[in-house]
Amino acid sequence: MKIGVLSIQGGFQKHLDILKKINISSVKVIYKEQLRNCSGLIIPGGESTTISKLLVKYNLSESIKEFASEKPVLGTCAGLILMSKNSNDKRVENLNLISIEVQRNGWGRQVESFSQTLKIENTEKNIEAVFIRAPKILRLGENVNVLARFENEPVFIKEGIHYAACFHPELTNDTTIHKIFTESIAA
């Protein structure tokens, strides 16, 4: 299995490091040809408006949508914003991979960043989640499953084959989210 990590801006290196730690081979994705041999794609956190501009520049949006029609995508923070169907900001290129509506920076500004222990629903697993200018999910489509909540709000979700987290699972030593994603592909 090879996982692509969209590497045009933001925290892609930490995702590559975590994949290495769990012995999953990975490839940086900048050009659409690099998606070809991937079994899944991670869209990292960063700045969703900047990633949006670069998606247009590298002509990647359509290729990612096509890829996602068959293969799983995990988005974290800005990645979740890009995967949403609406983020109430016209500078964002919404890929519409998960039927959620989000508010950018809904969990506060940079200085209000925080770390939180979350329980993964229907499991005994707890994860450490880092929220940095994190998006808040305002509305969920009817087929979206909530896998973790914070203050009763959904912060880790799944729809069909795709996963998205409002927080940064790549900034801790915890590999749970990456394992959930890659095990769903291996299954």
Of the residues 38, 77, 159, 166, which is catalytic?
77
Catalytic residue among 15, 93, 166, 168: 168
Give the x/- contact pattern for ligand GLN in 139-178, rule: CB under 6 A: ----------------------------------------
Q: In this structure, which amino acid lies at residue 25?
A: S
Q: Of 55, 60, 81, 97, which one interacts with ligand GLN (CB under 6 A)?
A: 81
Using the rule CB under 6 A, is 47 a contact of ligand GLN?
Answer: yes
Q: Does 9 bind ligand GLN (CB under 6 A)?
A: no
- Contacts of ligand GLN in 107-136 (CB under 6 A): 132-133
77: annotated active-site residue: yes
DSSP string, 74-138: EEETHHHHHHSSB-S-TTS-----S-EEEETTTT--GGG-EEEEEEPTTSS-EEEEEESS--EEE
Active site residue 168: yes
User: Using the rule CB under 6 A, is 101 a contact of ligand GLN?
Assistant: no
The residue to which tokens 């996602």 are assigned: 68
Clarify whether 166 is annotated catalytic.
Answer: no
Using the minimum distance from each CB to ligand GLN, give the nearer residue, 58 or 183: 58
Residue nearest to ligand GLN (CB): 45
**How far is residue 34's CA from residue 6's CA, in Å, rounded to a whole number?**
10
Find the shortest distance in angstroms from Cβ 110 to ligand GLN.
9
Helices then strands (H, E): number in the chain? 5, 11
- Is residue 75 near ligand GLN by the rule CB under 6 A? no
- Are 75 and 85 in contact by the 8 Å Cβ rule? The answer is no
- Nearest CA to 72 out of 19, 35, 101, 103 is that of 35
Q: At what angle do helices 61-68 and 48-57 cross, to 10 degrees?
A: 100
Q: Which residues are catalytic?
A: 77, 168, 170
What is the contact surface with ligand GLN in residues (CB under 6 A)?
45-48, 77-78, 81, 104-105, 132-133
